[in-house]
């Protein structure tokens, strides 16, 4: 769990490698289900195409179906689910498994800069940040030497602040919820990538 831009996606993938279990984001789950041919998949596809928020009841049903499919019997790193208390309670009641929670704690100012400052190479997809990274040669990708870069159109300040507000309303209450459940870990996500990796490595040994 963590604010948008807290680094949980990047670090979740690193943690999955250390624990040798899959990293599974909500987007991965939705894409996996949307390609199937059934009523839930068609309904999910309609929501995704229209850009509307997928209702918790449908999200819960789809996540449960994927997690119990047999592909994740040895566990997985869940990224982006549960998003709220309703989903968390459903997960506890309907999926019989042991849960460890990792909270990426970071200030609003840092995540705003991380999100608004990021841009990527159009050729190889390498990601940079104008506030935290510096190219070896100005205007030239370190990886492929391309000079063409792009940034996400939804990474404007108004959108970012709205996402932060939504997170604090919907997802932040999960921190106290999972603290009461035990096996809860906090990461100082405001540090450098290397510092966070070091913390993640220590957590991997305890899970």
**pTM of this prediction exceeds 0.75:** yes
Give the phi and the psi of residue 23 in degrees, each rounded to 5.
-95, 125
Domain count along the chain: 1
- If you average pLDDT over residues 4-25, what whole number do you get? 90
Quote the radius of gyration of the chain (alpha carbons, Å): 18
Q: What's the confidence (pLDDT) of residue 155?
A: 67
Structure confidence by residue, pLDDT tens digits, 146-198 = 999 998 766 678 888 888 998 999 999 999 999 998 899 999 999 888 899 99
Residue 150 in any domain: the answer is no
Decide if 48 is inside a domain. Answer: yes
Q: Is residue 103 part of a domain?
A: yes
Domain presence at residue 141: no
User: Which range of residues forms the domain containing residue 159?
Assistant: 8-117+155-206
- Residue 153: the pLDDT is 67
- Residue 105 has φ and ψ, to the nearest 5°, of -90, 125
Catalytic residues: 8, 83, 118, 152, 163
CA 3/CA 109 separation, integer angstroms: 11
| Residues 155 and 118 sit within 8 Å (Cβ to Cβ) | yes
pLDDT of residue 154: 65
Is residue 132 included in any domain, yes or no?
no
pLDDT digits (tens, 9 = 90+) for 83-133: 999 999 999 999 888 899 999 999 999 999 998 898 999 999 898 999 888
Structure-token pair, residue 69: 């499919």
In a domain, residue 185? The reply is: yes
Q: What's 74's domain CATH number? A: 3.40.50.300
Q: Tell me the residue ranges of DSSP E strands in 15-168.
A: 23-25, 77-79, 101-105, 118-121, 127-129, 149-150
In a domain, 68, yes or no: yes
Q: Which residues contact 158 (CB under 8 A, 6 or more apart)?
A: none
Is 143 domain-assigned? no
């Amino acid at each position: 769990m963590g604010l948008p831009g807290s680094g949980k996606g990047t670090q979740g993938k690193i943690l999955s490698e250390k624990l040798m279990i899959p990293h599974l984001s909500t987007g991965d789950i939705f894409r996996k289900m949307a390609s199937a041919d059934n009523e839930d998949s068609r309904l999910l596809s309609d929501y995704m195409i229209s850009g509307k928020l997928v209702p918790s009841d449908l999200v819960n049903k789809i996540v449960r179906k994927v997690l119990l499919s047999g592909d994740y019997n040895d566990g997985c790193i869940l990224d982006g689910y549960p998003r709220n208390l309703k989903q968390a309670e459903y997960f506890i009641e309907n999926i019989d498994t042991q849960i460890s929670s990792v909270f990426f704690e970071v200030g609003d100012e840092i995540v705003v800069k991380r999100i608004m400052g990021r841009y990527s190479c159009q050729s190889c997809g390498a990601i940079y940040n104008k506030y935290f990274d510096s190219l070896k040669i100005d205007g030239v990708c370190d990886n492929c030497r391309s000079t063409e870069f792009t940034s996400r159109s939804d990474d404007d300040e108004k959108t970012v602040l709205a996402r932060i507000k939504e997170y604090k309303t919907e997802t932040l209450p999960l921190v106290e919820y999972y603290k009461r459940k035990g096996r809860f870990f906090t990461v100082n996500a405001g540090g450098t990538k290397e510092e966070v990796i070091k913390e993640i490595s220590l957590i991997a040994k305890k899970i």
